[in-house]
Chain A
């Protein structure tokens, strides 16, 4: 149920637009106020706060605190790893669910949406109950000397859980609408599985795939609730950037907190810009909710 795209401008909207000028101005004014107060002012505020002591102070907030530096590196490793896992999953799931009809297909499609509905906190708790010291696998993991919860693997599992559907949900409607004709032709001409994927399927889905990856990454780097539950909140060890924002905020270190928040905001804005450019460049219009099977 992720939402993407938009900008549904139809030229004919103008033709029937019989609204009087005052009404138009009133509605446009309200729309500007709503987006301004809810969305634009908060973003501006992040940067004003982050740079209130100048760019130099901002930079030293980001680079001089060892725990903050660690959080940055941690987010840079956890988020891409989760995105990679979910990209492999997304391509495999989209291929299986759109190119074959089998019993249990609808069940898998429904399960795919589960992370959209489950609260991130509950997701984190679920992981804790399996891998935690008193969880199902806890004693066994302890014997094997593997630390999952309060460590990198836990952060990875929690982030992957929450972002699981993003790539798959982008690809499924796309591959469904493309159909399998080209792939069937390639197979009948003797293409092997890898040839089929690299030469036929991937070129057709590459923009949709990129779009899904971008959205998955935005969500992965910003994940908070699920990661917080499994992280244990150990500064300099298991704090990702969003968790660092909270910790600095609780320590009344506003400049530090806003500096980290501003980096996350820049990444979010970059995500939006990339998604927007991709949409206009490839002229594709993603469905408002990827459910049209």
Chain B
């Protein structure tokens, strides 16, 4: 590892060029546009800003965005822990295929996910024909948003837990078992505490993924104001009505929430790394 600075002590070339490209790309593509967004929101008067970000419709949208992302993240933690457990601990035909398939939500365009989920859960769809008679509306509802967000977030949880679970020393479980602990006791008292940080981080990643999602949700939710309209959909709606100022104000709120989530994940991750040492 290079511990030397960029000064004359380091003989490697390319610091100037590399830094220039890095800063230029980040600046032009990322920083200046984001600052433009914040600056534009800043030109609104406080009253105007407040009425845009705190209208009944936008409050409903934030609530729905956070709520569905949170429920989807919890579902992902439950499902993801189970999948990671099965993939790490058991051998069965198709295990490798299952392992490979779990990454699909990362590669599949979100519009495709949205299109398919909207088709599967309507009354005439493959899954809807069984669920709708039971009163379960998996399309054009809040549940539809949760389902598609759970799909998108699943790999984040599985891939965060998997290596941790694989790294747990078997001696720990053997010791617990030899001291007379049952299987459930061992899981709850020995394994779960070691897995918890990974579960929290994975859940946070899934949650953050859900907060900003647009492409899939716009297909499945029905986008009814106050009921099934998430914040990113509301932003696009406002843009289509040429209310750029309102859209920007709501975008700044969403941006703040995303940055908060990113900060929390970095913090969780750094704590996890120190714990591991």
Contact = CB atoms under 8 A, between A and B. Distances in A.
B2 A6 contact: no
A9 B116 contact: no
Given A27-B90, A121-B232, A130-B32, A18 B111 contact: no
B262 A117 contact: yes
A255 B183 CA distance: 51
A116 interface: yes
Assign chain B's interface to a size class.
Answer: 35 or more
Contacts of B155: 3
A100 B30 contact: no
Contacts of B156: 1, 3
Interface in B209-238: 211-215, 218-219, 231-232, 235-236
Given A16-B174, A17-B90, A245 B112 contact: yes
Contacts of A164: 25-26, 29-30
Contacts of A183: 12
Task: Describe B's contact surface by its main secondary structure.
Answer: helix
B19 A96 contact: yes
A196 B11 CA distance: 12
Interface string B72-92: 000000010011011111111
Contact of B236 (A39, A108, A228): A228
B30 A111 contact: yes
A85 B24 CA distance: 12
Contact of B22 (A41, A96, A121, A123): A96
A221 B107 CA distance: 10
Given A16-B170, A27-B85, A224-B111, A272 B100 contact: yes
A74 interface: no
A35 B1 contact: no
Contacts of B89: 13, 17, 19
Contacts of B248: 125, 129
Interface in A15-68: 15-20, 23-24, 27-28, 30-32, 34-35, 37-43, 45-46, 49
Contacts of B201: 289
Interface string B168-180: 0010011001000
B18 A45 contact: no
A212 interface: no
A138 to B, nearest CB: 11
Interface string A250-272: 00000001100100110011011
Contacts of A187: 11-13
A245 B109 CA distance: 10
Contact of B116 (A46, A97, A272): A46
B115 A245 contact: yes
22 contacts: A12-B170, A41-B126, A42-B117, A45-B120, A85-B25, A93-B25, A96-B15, A99-B2, A100-B10, A114-B34, A116-B208, A116-B262, A119-B211, A119-B255, A122-B251, A122-B254, A129-B33, A130-B36, A222-B112, A257-B115, A265-B108, A291-B266
For the complex of A and B, the 7 pairs showing the least CB-CB separation, nearest first, are A222-B109, A119-B212, A224-B215, A126-B33, A96-B18, A225-B214, A117-B262
Given A88-B21, A99-B15, A126-B34, 6 more contacts: A35-B98, A42-B116, A92-B21, A100-B5, A129-B248, A264-B112
